[in-house]
Amino acid sequence: MDVASPSAAGLRTFYDGLFQAYGPQRWWPTQDADNPRFEILIGAVLTQHTAWTNVEIAIAQLRDAGPLTAESLLAHADLPALIRRAGPHNVKAKRLRALCEWFVARGGFEALAGMDTPTLRGELLALHGIGHETADVILLYAFGRPSFVADAYAFRIMERYGWSAGARNYERLRKRVEAVGPVDDAPFYDELHALIVAHAKQRCHKSWPDCRACALQARCAQRGVNAVR
Contact, 192 vs 148, CB < 8 A?
A: yes
The stretch 45-65 carries a mean pLDDT of 95
* Strand residue runs (E) in the chain: none
pLDDT of residue 225: 87
Q: Do 36-142 and 8-26+148-228 have the same topology in CATH?
A: no
* Strand residue runs (E) in 71-178: none
pLDDT of residue 228: 43
Going by C-alpha positions, the residue among 39, 32, 42 that lies closest to residue 99 is 42
| DSSP class per residue in 118-145 | HHHHHHHHTSTT--HHHHHHIIIIIT--
The stretch 194-218 carries a mean pLDDT of 95
The CATH code of the domain at 8-26+148-228 is 1.10.1670.10
List the domain boundaries for the chain: 8-26+148-228, 36-142
The stretch 73-88 carries a mean pLDDT of 95
Cα separation, 194 vs 138, whole angstroms: 14
User: 4 pLDDT band (50/70/90 cuts)?
Assistant: confident
Cα separation, 82 vs 78, whole angstroms: 6
pLDDT of residue 5: 84
* pLDDT score of 2 more than 90: no
Q: Give burial (CB, 10 Å; 0-12/13-18/19+) of 40.
A: buried
The stretch 28-50 carries a mean pLDDT of 94
**In CATH, what is the architecture of 36-142?**
Orthogonal Bundle (1.10)
User: 224 pLDDT band (50/70/90 cuts)?
Assistant: confident
- Report the Cα 134 to chain-centroid distance in Å: 6
